[in-house]
Structure 1
């Protein structure tokens, strides 16, 4: 009760008044004790979990004026420990708003003389319009010279730098500075400010800026300036610390296989800005309440108003047309998306890492927020659906509850006809390839005899042996330990083109189930590799399809080497 009272007091930065748009606070009081999650809605949510094979779910409904409501379903561990409002989940990309807020706090420090590190001589002020090259002199550089010179803080955190995700370029041993320095070697997909294109790297850049100018680590800055003032005592960036509480949920694949922890302690600094927060429904209700109160908690400004205004209001267009009449087009500010649902303005962000799907949203004009955390990977669709159904009840948007959404039936891929064979023997396509800004890839054919190839082929043989059907086309195999993958599978398509599948293999299973399996659930899990043969030899390959749409390079260049999103030379 004391904990809930402190949360409630945190909401009272303004006089306690029930605004008329929050009719759910009074209208439902006689039928469900003032709660949004009725037994009918709870049963419907449980049905969704069953349909979508979600092990556990934690939800918070956060009114601006009043106490949050918490509900949980299912389990957080393989041993059957129940999910509660205090269960810790990876927030994944929901973390991005923390990164933007921390950067805004640092800007505020400089504006009011609280900084401890001087700005570079070329800078007299530090704000959202500051050029990245000026705040990171000698470190920031993009391949696109114009974007490199003109990109400001707001550009890179609104995903309009022109640089696509390139999420497979960084690895578990990289630092944020390593990732920043690597960007000069990575090909852009679009012209500067031409096209919204999601990019985790820019939030890693922001965390690096904070470390450079705050005289402390990014994670400690967020803990000191955000977690502590809000009383988010359970929130952390450390998987080990979260695990020691006994309240850190395990994660499962979309098909229900238990996964090991996705981040090591070594990865914390690299992933912190883009997706590193670990938190609970209770703690995140305090975060949502802060945004409903425009950065104020207990009459104290925790995040400056400039953060609220610039981050939550759209700067770039992420969805230019909606195919759902209930939804509007969608914009992106900095760390927050914004759209309209049945005429109600929603600010939100989703998150996805192996084994977790999260969504945090608040409705600035309706004074309520909703958080939904699932311990299953690739569950964005049901998580969004649950969030919308809670809003339906909270705001009395429908006369009848909307039904649970069901998974689409997987479509069988048509068998390719008129497949052209490889120009050379499969073995000629094996070997090591190096790409600018990327680590080398060493492909093995099934007949590879080196110790490396024997180990790689053994791992693939183990996981393929448990499948009802494995690819029948010629394949190449590689070990590729990155943050999001352990291996690569190349399946021949036609001619010298292969489908590249970025995957993680578990040849000994995990948890109680020792059956081998593989999973690919994060970011872009598939691309196309087009190999080039010159004078009877393979000289390299170009990767396509990582961005998910036709890039500027593909429109303006002709050769595979120039058109590719990433080019690898054979070495």
Structure 2
């Protein structure tokens, strides 16, 4: 039976239900209690299941509020699904390649001549398989680009980015290769990726509330806002780990406001580049998308083939090992396909992918053998990703008829253990900078990262940061997608610790060290080297300037030009 239930009428205030009743009432109560316990502002769920009559059961669930005005989350509330956009890019790549008599195994440079890499073997040999399965040798290099430059400019910069591993030696997740793939529709058909996806996927499926354009999404009035946490000193992206641990002991996982931090609105966080993370969508459209994926590209109602089945099947062929040792005993080793992760959960095949943007988190997961699909979205930064993971497994356990596993306690304890502050020397520097602080200010250039203008940090500027304690000496405007400023604190000799700061223009909220925890700078050899910044994959070593010198050992080297 299909219906729409307004908030509160199901006996659970703040919950908005649409469609069939798929999950049990106890599961719904659990999810709502978890949302309240962790202070998640808004949650949106899409659930589909093919029943015994080969008909689709569909349910959407909205919990909480989408923005600072308190507007509730419904099936039409729009969230960024961030890296869940990669599957649309991978599928579009397959469609365009098939139209041009090319294949996944076609070398990228044959079709996109502007694709050039520092590693010439990778440049010549990389096919679309390696490009879309993160095997080019490039790490994240997430601070090398901004979102207001063109994909073409991002791809031109790849030739100047250091690889962190040899070609096809390992899996290293990066958005950059999906930016490269996003050029394919324009290169072959003269269409932007956004236009191609809308024309060939969204419109035929009736996904009328999915967008790449933030202003179009905003004009609907359904756009959600992202939220983070702050403490009394005004820091965002922080919480009291020890207080959270005490809350767990005293209240079975319910986190106090003092522990989890005060709510801080980010507004709409960051306009993502289309290829790796640009899709904005809602639970209503994701029910259509989940059904289409489970039907291997067929329209869930009309039954006509929208996406060739071979493309869907190729995206879930394992290409590279992500992680040999799973985090949980119920989960197998994970493999990566093309924009999809592949593994098993309690003996069942799982296809999924996370999506992570500031204040916007998502999971899109399906179990093909059981014809089950679930999408979870929320607008909380610190606890949102963990909430989504706990929620998806609770729902999957329910749909499989299995006793639920207590992922809540397991994940929260592990999360907080991983948030122990890193050791940092509080004592004054033992050795001064060889040429003095006056030698540091100036303009530093890297062909991919651009210019950094380092200047002395005035007391006024330091007061405006609303952080007390660090002895910052210099500041550099970065103006990239995920960082706006670098703040430099002298550690010893030519070494500085670097704090990354991101300011959100809509609200003025600030987040610290989102990317590149523990960035370190060293000055010498005609410039500045950075390490712990490129975001290498698991098991891949960071640069070592102590051993290899500043220029050769750095992950990114900036030449001082003035």
TM-score normalised to the size of structure 2? 0.83
Query: Which residue pairs with 2:446 in the alignment?
Result: 435
Change (3 A) 1:485 1:399: closer
Residue 433 (structure 2) pairs with residue 423 (structure 1)? yes
Query: Which residue pairs with 2:189 in the alignment?
Result: 214
The match for 1:201 among 163, 170, 176 is 176
Q: Which whole-Å CA distance do the structure 2 matches of 1:552 and 1:436 have between them?
A: 23
Query: Which residue pairs with 1:475 in the alignment?
Result: 473
Counterpart contact for 2:270–2:358, Cα < 8 Å: no
Change (3 A) 1:222 1:323: closer
Helix, strand or coil at the partner of 1:221: helix
Residue 123 (structure 2) pairs with residue 148 (structure 1)? yes
Query: Which residue pairs with 1:280 in the alignment?
Result: 282
The Cα of 1:162 is off from its aligned counterpart by: 0.4
Residue 32 (structure 2) pairs with residue 40 (structure 1)? no
Q: Which whole-Å CA distance do the structure 2 matches of 1:372 and 1:340 have between them?
A: 19
Query: Which residue pairs with 1:128 in the alignment?
Result: 104
Q: Which whole-Å CA distance do the structure 2 matches of 1:415 and 1:133 have between them?
A: 45
Change (3 A) 1:211 1:399: closer
Query: Which residue pairs with 1:84 in the alignment?
Result: 74
Q: Which whole-Å CA distance do the structure 1 matches of 2:2 and 2:203 have between them?
A: 17
Partner deviation per Cα, 1:69-96 (whole Å, 9 max, x = no partner) = 1111100121111001111111110000
Q: Which whole-Å CA distance do the structure 1 matches of 2:311 and 2:430 have between them?
A: 55
Residue 392 (structure 2) pairs with residue 387 (structure 1)? yes
Change (3 A) 1:82 1:73: same
Query: Which residue pairs with 2:420 in the alignment?
Result: 411
Query: Which residue pairs with 2:256 in the alignment?
Result: none
Q: Which whole-Å CA distance do the structure 2 matches of 1:502 and 1:399 have between them?
A: 40
Equivalent pairs, count: 500
Query: Which residue pairs with 1:238 in the alignment?
Result: 213
Q: Which whole-Å CA distance do the structure 2 matches of 1:2 and 1:390 have between them?
A: 19
Unaligned 5+ segments in structure 1 are 5-32, 111-124, 448-456
Change (3 A) 1:311 1:417: same
Change (3 A) 1:408 1:366: same
Counterpart contact for 2:20–2:59, Cα < 8 Å: no
Query: Which residue pairs with 1:311 in the alignment?
Result: 315
Partner deviation per Cα, 1:494-523 (whole Å, 9 max, x = no partner) = 3322222222136xx965xxxx7520475x
Counterpart contact for 1:242–1:248, Cα < 8 Å: yes
Q: Could you tell which deviates more after superposition, 416-425 or 427-436?
A: 416-425
Aligned runs of 1:26-425 on 2, under 5 Å?
35-64=21-50, 65-110=55-100, 125-137=101-113, 139-255=114-230, 256-263=263-270, 271-297=273-299, 298-378=302-382, 379-398=384-403, 403=408, 405-406=411-412, 408=416, 410-416=419-425, 420-424=430-434, 425=436
The match for 1:491 among 489, 494, 507 is 489
Superposed CA RMSD? 2.7
Helix, strand or coil at the partner of 2:92: helix
Counterpart contact for 2:270–2:357, Cα < 8 Å: no
Q: Which whole-Å CA distance do the structure 1 matches of 2:544 and 2:476 have between them?
A: 31
The Cα of 1:34 is off from its aligned counterpart by: 7.2
Q: Which whole-Å CA distance do the structure 1 matches of 2:476 and 2:488 have between them?
A: 8
Counterpart contact for 2:164–2:542, Cα < 8 Å: yes
Unaligned 5+ segments in structure 2 are 5-18, 231-262
The Cα of 1:230 is off from its aligned counterpart by: 0.8
Partner deviation per Cα, 1:458-500 (whole Å, 9 max, x = no partner) = 4542232xx4x432x3432122111222211223333322222
Q: Which whole-Å CA distance do the structure 1 matches of 2:469 and 2:395 have between them?
A: 41
Helix, strand or coil at the partner of 1:481: coil
Partner deviation per Cα, 1:255-277 (whole Å, 9 max, x = no partner) = 5311132345xxx6xx1111111
Helix, strand or coil at the partner of 1:96: helix
Partner deviation per Cα, 1:343-400 (whole Å, 9 max, x = no partner) = 2211111111122001101011111011000012242122111111111111122167
Change (3 A) 1:526 1:476: farther
The Cα of 1:432 is off from its aligned counterpart by: 1.8
Query: Which residue pairs with 1:118 in the alignment?
Result: none
Q: Which whole-Å CA distance do the structure 2 matches of 1:381 and 1:323 have between them?
A: 13
Change (3 A) 1:478 1:403: closer
